[in-house]
Structure 1
Amino acid sequence: MRVLNCVVDDHNLLLVALAALVCVTGSGITMQLYRKMRGCRGLMRATWLVTGAGAGGATIWCTHFIAMLAWTPSMATSYEPFMTAGSLVVALAGCALALGVGSSRGLAAKLIGGALFGLTVTGMHYLGMAGLENKAFVLFDPVYVVASVVLAVGFGVLAFWLAAAGQLPAHKVTSSAALVLAIVSLHFTGMAAITVLPMDGFGQSHGVNSNLLAFGVAGVGLLLLGSALATYALQEQFQRRERRRLKALIDGTADGMVVEIAGRIVMVNEAFLDLCKLESADLTGAPIARWIEDANVMTGQTVVQTQLLTDDQELIPVEVAVRNEQSESGAAVRLFAVRDLRRRQEQERRIAFLARNDSLTGMPNRASFLEKMTRMTHLMGGGGGFALLAIDLDRFKDINDLYGHAVGDQLLVHIAENLRAAGREGEFIARLGGDEFVALVALNPLAGRREQAAVAAARLREAIIQPMDGEHTNIGCGASIGVALWPEDGADTSILINNADLAMYRAKASVSDKVCFYEKAMDEAVRHRRRVTEGLRKALEQDRFQIFYQPQVCVIDGEIKGYEALLRWPQDDGSFISPDEFIPVAEDTGLILPIGEWVLRRACEEAMQWDKPYRLAVNLSPVQLGHTDLPKLVHQILLDTGLPPARLELEITETAMISDMALSTHILRQLKALGISIAMDDFGTGYSSLSTLRAFPFDKIKLDRAFMSELEGSPQSRAIIRAVLTIGESLNIPVLAEVVETLDQLAFLREQGCDEVQGFLLGRPTRQALPLATQEAALAVA
């Protein structure tokens, strides 16, 4: 009651309210600066310490002296300037010491800091009261003095403890209120301890009067509180700008980003909110371990794959990277980068599926087929084995050409669905690519193996040939199936696959049998073909081919006009493989291109060594004629060897032109532009010989050898030869007859006006360009 009476009776309540306002404002600012200082280190901590000391000291000092101005004793009062200024120094220094100690780590430091703050308020108050000058004795009641000190220290300790307890708004309000109570309780309890005894006879006071003190208090208070408030506002603005920049930075990433300080989320980006399907307010302040499994034990050393649990109890696979930092206050700061793995895992599953399955039909692919086949060979060592079915679609290329590849793909999907539906237990069906399929059929050892395989092949073929409904018609194709049985047709998987392919090719070539079983005698021709192919490669690499030359003679005067280059392939035993045997293989395998280039180059080189500039005739394969770079190759060979273009004659067959008349004619015109002669070989056997002669101006016609072999016993052959010679004469194109072997044949050709002849009668092919073979032949020609 004494304190209350002091406040009500001895003070101007308006100024008391002003002092309270200053105290509340300054205490709030001081506590905020104290919190800032606790979260910083180094220079920033020192900056906040100075600012906080100024704000706290100004709050204590201004509150005290505004309240002193509100005190209305019954005599005039003034204030001794040095003591008054000293009280301000005590307030500032004490606040600095209290804030510095209270911002250290540990609970004891905070309690000591609060006690120091209470003692600072006490020291400033009683030092300021000591500077009071008036005509009276001022007596202090020790009980109230002790009570004021206890209250100041107690509320100071409480204020610092509440400020350090947390960052919630309630902590901020209660800590500021406790600081206000520390200042106010000290002042008014201390004022209640005063007893004033007026005295006469004192001299005139020389202290600072109340008006000057009012201006001083106002100036110091505004300066210090304004500086602290401005510093705090600038720092808050800077921190808000930094937080916005950080928020913009983490929001700009596709991964979820979470900032956790002291085990509580303080910031999240939109990607993480979308992942959790929550709002920012739902996460702020909560531990991230509530959503991310094992988040508390993540060290940040590696990227961890874990799970995220949404509030809907949905488990989302995520990849988490953690970066551990430490704030200036020493609090643990962790930055979580969270990546949603659902899309990547889906892509990985898709990649894994495509690695083992066909992308168009979804059926197992070649890799799955080989793995399955290998596994079956290991598992069926003592069982009934299995049958391998090699399936190739008939006329599928025609469907692509006629309807387009999109329709062809639809047909493949249709066939794949039919095959899946027709499959039985123990059967594995795969698509190898294009129009090739395979099937593995497990066989029962207690029943006929070939019969089981034949039934399965017939069933699958029936599924394949079911037509697909097109826009205007039903579209379908046939199937040829080759069957090989394991293990009798091949214990090795590669051999078994090869044998099934051989059976399939046989079925494809057959008109009636569309399902063929492998037979050992079936692949002898294929093996021979492979041996020929390998031999051709080695002969080309080892330069084992040879060129023989056969003369071409003028019928009129018997003069040799040129030589035809003929390719020969000698063997180790001195024999030769016939060109009719190896040339088709070379054409099918593409080896005819390097072989043809070798023949042309070698023949030109050797022709340059002849005594006379005879004409050199070289045959061109249809495969060579189909390449657009042929004129460039021929030109380069002529340049390299030095052979004049006029001495070179290239022979082509009519069949080579018919396959692509426009392209062939274009290439032949380019060759002829080089100065090379072009001869038509095997004339008379094609389907459109006359139109071919009209399409291109040939320099020579070579009569097909079939007519010469039938000349003596076939009037029709004689008539055809006469017709060809007449055509040549009419078109002014020389005609050369091949395979002239008797004098009667030579006499007939001479009688009919043939221009040139070539054959064994005149000379067999030899390694060197030689004169006519016999004197008799020479005389006959002459």
Structure 2
Amino acid sequence: MRFFTCLTGDHNLWLVGLAAALCLIGSIITFRLFRRLRAAEKGARPAWTFMGAIATGATIWCTHFVAMIAYEPGTAIRYEPMLTGLSLGVAMLGSGLALWVASRAMRGAAELGGVLFGLTVTAMHYTGMAGFATDAVIHWSTAYVGASVAGAVVFGGLAFHLARRPGKLGPVVLMVLGIVALHFTGMAAMTVIPLAPLTDASVGDSANVALAFAVAAVGLMILGAGVATYVLDLQFRIQAKARLEHLLEGSVDGMVVAQDGVVLSANAAFADLVGVDHGALVGEPLSRWIADAAHLRTGALTQSRIAGPAGAEIPVEIAVRRDGGHAVESDIMIYAVRDLRTRLAQERRIAHLARNDSLTGLPNRSSFLEWLTRQTADPVPSGKVALLAMDMDRFKEVNDVHGHAAGDQLLIQVAERMRATLRPGEFVARLGGDEFVAVVPVQHREDALDLAERLRDAVTAPVVLDHAEVSCGLSVGIAVWPDDADNASALINDADLAMYRAKASLSVDICFYEEEMDEAVRVRRRMAQQMREALDQGQFSLNWQIQAAVDTGAVTGYEVLLRWIQPDGTFVSPADFIPLAEENGLILPIGEWVLRTACAEAAAWPVPHKIAVNLSPVQLGHVDLPRLVHQVLIETGLSPSRLELEITETAMITDMERTTHVLRQLKLLGVSIAMDDFGTGYSSLSTLRAFPFDKIKLDRSFMSELDGGPESAAIIRAVLALGESLHIPVLAEGVETLDQLSFLRDQGCDEVQGYLLGRPQKTAEAEVQPAARVLWNPDRVTAAA
């Protein structure tokens, strides 16, 4: 009752209302500044602490001073200026300290700050009361003083405790209650006994009211400065938030801004990712979608899972950044959430493509080698592993007739059939094109036939394409580890050899590897490899065989002959390696080397004899041959009239139109064209009619059979007559005896070439051998003998 009596009887209620209004406004501003202080960056915290100290101190002091002016003890009252000013300083300094402590990230910091705030209100009040001067006797109640201090401390602690929570009204009410309780309980603790009566109360009341409003105006100006600062900062923060939201919405990744684990803002990408309406995200705990959000490491990329629509887990990559970089409990955290479903799907697809064929889905070469290596490295229960090398027959016909799209459809269906025929432990893969392999553990060699026959039946069954029904065969070669090879590489080679034997056979399509039968293929492969090395290491060389006129014996030119002598001195016959070079395409670089080297050597001769260079059908079919010949002639400086290119009838027949076009281009360069091995082809006369050759070379087989009967002599006479009729010189190859040379001279042959004139040499001979010169110089017969 003393508290209420003091409030209603001893105070001017209008001024009390003014004090209460100041206290309410100041409390609202105080806690707004306090929340801004807690969220401020480290560098801005002193400024916000200062503003909070000014606003809070002004709130406490103005409330106290206006309430003191409202106090009417019935005697004149004066206020000591020094102590009154000191009370304002105590209010501001204490408030600043309380706000700074309460904003720390320590446990219980808010409550400690509230206690300091209550003590600050107490110190300010009783410092101000010490400056209270009047002509009266003052008695103090210790109980009321203690109650005022307890009320200020309790309400202050509760106010700052609630200030760290989302609510806004509770802290303001508690702060007002703390200040009011302190002041009016403290005033109730004081009993004033006047010593002299108040003479003119009306004048005192008017002065007090004027003073109260002046104090309130000053207080409001101080609070207004705090409000203006807060408003300007709030406007800046709103603009920054708008920019942040613009940046968030511009990101393709999900972006979330959270404070104290609560979502402040999120973009549409994150809302779509979690399947929640964009507006429903704000204010919700982030842990609802990111369970481990509180444990994510700042500045690091973390792969995690978030809760998606209907409880589905979505793999994501989360990057966390602390806004402002200050370490307080109310940090604003920015989460960048990237959906990994597409990337993981692509990674799975890439991993699948790395190990599987992109067209058929079967394992590819890499998977096959890994599987075979594992099978042959680790002991298997059966002790043997069979490797099946398979190649489809007539597949090229499907591509040529129906197109490559149809060929792809065929491969897809064949692969599905192969996969369907497999049993546990069996493996099939596609190496490329129409080549397949299979691996199966076996107990005996013959056990592999079961898988081979099943795969053959799957492949050879008719396949219905879009517009046709096609059927292909299957050639299978089987090699068994460790019977046929002791390592995976040799096993693959053996199965491949057996497959080529099956492909070449007309009666069987499944062949086991047999070392004796497959040795020829192995030798050819080894020779092909050695040929590549010979070209790189310069093991090839050129020999020159002389050509002479029949009537005079004068040297007319030289034919270039390719020789291959291996480092161990072994001579490899051109009849062995030239066909192999044509098969694997090495004839192109070898032929270019022969042409370039021969032209370079001939260009350095003192006598400008003609040189003859053989062209392979493979070279002749190459569209760049005229350009190559022209380039070589320019580089070596050899006159085009000295170069004679020899071709066979077989090369002409393969593609008459294209070959004729290429030969005409060569003729335009000034190069001579000779038909080699004339008489051994299929359509010699039609070939001569198709292109105007500069020379005909009669095949050496006619010379070797000249003594065997009249047929060869008759054919030679016919060829020579044909050449004379067409005005094409004829050169006879393989002349080895004087009788052959004499016969040719009698029949009007133009030129000859053979061992009788001279064997091939590394350098061009100046003249023919003595054994042949006796025909043109009878006086030297005895010497030659």
Specify the alignment match of 2:427 in structure 1. 428
Specify the alignment match of 2:144 in structure 1. 147
Post-superposition offset of 1:358: 1.7
Partners of 1:96 and 1:476 lie apart in 2 by 99
Q: How does 1:272-421 map to 2 (within 5 A)?
A: 272-278=270-276, 292=290, 303-309=301-307, 312-320=310-318, 327=326, 329=328, 337-378=336-377, 383=382, 385-421=384-420
Give the counterpart of 1:733 among 713, 728, 746. Answer: 728
Post-superposition offset of 1:743: 5.6
1:178 aligns with 2:178: no
Partners of 1:596 and 1:43 lie apart in 2 by 81
Listed as ranges, the gaps of 5+ residues in structure 2 are: 779-785
Partners of 1:399 and 1:719 lie apart in 2 by 49
| 1:401-423 deviations in Å (ceiling 9; x for gaps) | 33222221111110011112222
Given that 2:52 and 2:99 are in contact with CA atoms closer than 8 Å, whether structure 1 keeps it comes out as no
Q: How does 1:103-502 map to 2 (within 5 A)?
A: 103-104=100-101, 106-107=108-109, 109-120=112-123, 122-123=125-126, 126=129, 130=133, 142-143=140-141, 147=144, 150-151=147-148, 154-155=151-152, 157-170=154-167, 172-187=168-183, 199=197, 209=207, 212-213=210-211, 216-217=214-215, 219-249=217-247, 252-256=250-254, 270-278=268-276, 292=290, 303-309=301-307, 312-320=310-318, 327=326, 329=328, 337-378=336-377, 383=382, 385-445=384-444, 449-450=445-446, 452-502=447-497
Q: 1:570 to 1:250 in 2, by over 3 A?
A: same
Amino acid at match of 1:180: V
Partners of 1:551 and 1:564 lie apart in 2 by 7
Q: 1:602 to 1:720 in 2, by over 3 A?
A: same
Amino acid at match of 1:103: W
| 1:49-102 deviations in Å (ceiling 9; x for gaps) | 332233234334544566678789999x8x86x757964662354133233135
RMSD (CA atoms) = 4.2
| 1:244-291 deviations in Å (ceiling 9; x for gaps) | 444555555555555565566655555555444446787767776665
Q: Secondary structure at the match of 2:439?
A: strand
Partners of 2:321 and 2:505 lie apart in 1 by 72
Q: 1:528 to 1:166 in 2, by over 3 A?
A: same
Partners of 1:363 and 1:42 lie apart in 2 by 62
Partners of 1:199 and 1:427 lie apart in 2 by 120
Q: 1:9 to 1:730 in 2, by over 3 A?
A: farther
| 1:721-764 deviations in Å (ceiling 9; x for gaps) | 56655554455433323234456655665565543232344444
Partners of 1:232 and 1:90 lie apart in 2 by 26
Post-superposition offset of 1:355: 2.8
Given that 2:37 and 2:48 are in contact with CA atoms closer than 8 Å, whether structure 1 keeps it comes out as yes
Given that 2:630 and 2:669 are in contact with CA atoms closer than 8 Å, whether structure 1 keeps it comes out as yes
Amino acid at match of 1:97: G
Q: 1:14 to 1:542 in 2, by over 3 A?
A: closer
Partners of 1:25 and 1:240 lie apart in 2 by 23
Q: Secondary structure at the match of 1:199?
A: coil
Q: Secondary structure at the match of 1:398?
A: helix
Partners of 1:50 and 1:751 lie apart in 2 by 130
Amino acid at match of 2:426: E
| TM-score normalised according to structure 1 size | 0.84
Post-superposition offset of 1:234: 1.6
Partners of 1:49 and 1:159 lie apart in 2 by 18
Q: Secondary structure at the match of 1:547?
A: strand
Q: 1:475 to 1:781 in 2, by over 3 A?
A: farther
Post-superposition offset of 1:614: 1.7
Amino acid at match of 2:674: A
Specify the alignment match of 2:97 in structure 1. 100
Partners of 2:598 and 2:48 lie apart in 1 by 99
Listed as ranges, the gaps of 5+ residues in structure 1 are: none
Given that 1:155 and 1:178 are in contact with CA atoms closer than 8 Å, whether structure 2 keeps it comes out as no
Given that 1:122 and 1:152 are in contact with CA atoms closer than 8 Å, whether structure 2 keeps it comes out as no
Q: 1:559 to 1:671 in 2, by over 3 A?
A: same
Partners of 1:573 and 1:65 lie apart in 2 by 119
Specify the alignment match of 1:46 in structure 2. 46
Given that 2:554 and 2:767 are in contact with CA atoms closer than 8 Å, whether structure 1 keeps it comes out as no
Q: 1:13 to 1:573 in 2, by over 3 A?
A: closer
Partners of 1:96 and 1:614 lie apart in 2 by 117
Post-superposition offset of 1:648: 1.8
Q: 1:146 to 1:384 in 2, by over 3 A?
A: closer
Partners of 1:267 and 1:358 lie apart in 2 by 47
| TM-score normalised according to structure 2 size | 0.84
Give the counterpart of 1:553 among 539, 545, 548. Answer: 548
Given that 1:39 and 1:328 are in contact with CA atoms closer than 8 Å, whether structure 2 keeps it comes out as no
Partners of 1:687 and 1:290 lie apart in 2 by 88
Q: 1:151 to 1:670 in 2, by over 3 A?
A: farther
| 1:292-331 deviations in Å (ceiling 9; x for gaps) | 5666555558655444455854444444555678636466
Given that 2:114 and 2:159 are in contact with CA atoms closer than 8 Å, whether structure 1 keeps it comes out as no
Q: 1:61 to 1:302 in 2, by over 3 A?
A: closer
Given that 1:61 and 1:87 are in contact with CA atoms closer than 8 Å, whether structure 2 keeps it comes out as no
Count of paired positions: 768
Specify the alignment match of 2:513 in structure 1. 518
Given that 1:681 and 1:704 are in contact with CA atoms closer than 8 Å, whether structure 2 keeps it comes out as yes
| 1:126-184 deviations in Å (ceiling 9; x for gaps) | 47864x8xxxx6676644x96377336624542344324453343x3222112222333
Amino acid at match of 1:217: V
Specify the alignment match of 1:624 in structure 2. 619
Aligned residues with identical type, % of pairs: 51
Given that 1:391 and 1:481 are in contact with CA atoms closer than 8 Å, whether structure 2 keeps it comes out as yes
Q: 1:617 to 1:9 in 2, by over 3 A?
A: same
Q: 1:150 to 1:406 in 2, by over 3 A?
A: same
Q: Secondary structure at the match of 1:32?
A: helix
Post-superposition offset of 1:638: 4.0
Q: 1:84 to 1:279 in 2, by over 3 A?
A: farther
Q: How does 1:25-64 map to 2 (within 5 A)?
A: 25-40=25-40, 44-63=44-63
Post-superposition offset of 1:675: 3.0
Give the counterpart of 1:681 among 673, 676, 679. Answer: 676
Specify the alignment match of 1:604 in structure 2. 599
Partners of 1:562 and 1:310 lie apart in 2 by 88
